[in-house]
Amino acid sequence: MRTTRRGRVMWGASVRVRSLRAFLWLVLAGVLAVAPGCRRKAEGQGARSSSGAATAATTVPGPGLPAAVAEAVGREVQAVRVLSRPTGDILGFRVSAAEALATWEKVHAVKDRSGLYPVIFAGGTQGLPGESVGDDPAFSPAAKLGRAANIAPAAWFPARMEDLELHPPRDPAGTSPPNTRFVLFTDLVTGEPRDDLLLLLVPTTKTWEVLAILGFGGWNDCPTDEAHAAAHKLWFETYGAELVAMDLATLELRVARPPTTRDAALALALQQYAYCYDIVEQGVGSLEALAAGLANGSVWFFWWD
């Protein structure tokens, strides 16, 4: 078992959770739906105060799909209002595992007309984050994105590695095939297609803004909303990486321009290790193996314990 000076247990049967909200999210994802209202303890920001009524992670009838989305989907679907955010209500509709990616591509193609970015959420309505962002302007999506604009990823990645005392495992012989497959569409236990997928329609056209709007991060060693936004903006501009699917602890991105050389892939692997070290230390095992999967790979996977 290895423990950082921050006290996070990185190996073993238990995980020390740094905030009550993180604990509730883990229970929510793995055992049962937890009543919302717990606030996030963001890295370096201290605990938030709760304000405003919590929004239950259950759906209520919503309006019809926006015209551009309905036209893109090409079939009748029942839209529901799944979350409420200051940027607007977030609608969604159920989608089968077989049709999930194709439907995402259709809705993504019209995002500039609809003003909505699609994200496939694995877990159904019982797994949705139920926290209300309340009326605290410091934690509004606009405020978080404003802080994200002041983060320089080139400095943030090494600073995070130093802060968490990270030392990437190395293995010159480490290898893995290019990653080209999404895993969230399949039940990892049974191997069967999942039947609890929702296509969320997030009110933005920019992939890097999605997690700040939904509120994802700041628990355990998962980066804050602001850091997610800054890293994803860099990766979109550099590699054409866009968020496709997620659950409460996992993100999967599609990549239009992956690195094609070993050196470029290693440089990206070091960034991704700083961002999400679990994909190496509890995943592929070495920085070289991660780089091998990134070279010419069209899908990126992140998971935080």
**41-55, 58-72, 82-96, 234-248: which range is least confident on average?**
41-55
Note whether residue 254 is domain-resident.
yes
Note whether residue 69 is domain-resident.
no
Note whether residue 158 is domain-resident.
yes
Rounded Cα distance, 256 and 235, in Å: 10
Note whether residue 36 is domain-resident.
no
| Chain segment 144-188, per-residue pLDDT in tens | 999 999 999 999 999 999 999 999 999 999 999 999 999 999 998
pLDDT at residue 28, as a whole number: 33
Note whether residue 99 is domain-resident.
no
Give the count of domains, the chain: 1
SS3 content of the chain, % helix, strand, coil (to 5): 35, 15, 45
pLDDT at 26 over 90: no
Note whether residue 285 is domain-resident.
yes
Note whether residue 189 is domain-resident.
yes
Note whether residue 92 is domain-resident.
no
Tokens of 289: 């193996």
Structural domain of 245: 132-198+205-210+221-303
Mean of pLDDT over the chain? 80
- Full DSSP string of 151-199: --HHHHHHHHHHHTT------TT---PPP----TTB-TTT-SBPS-EEE
Mean pLDDT score, 200-221: 93
Smallest CA-to-CA distance from 49 within 138, 160, 161 is with 138
Rounded Cα distance, 79 and 92, in Å: 6
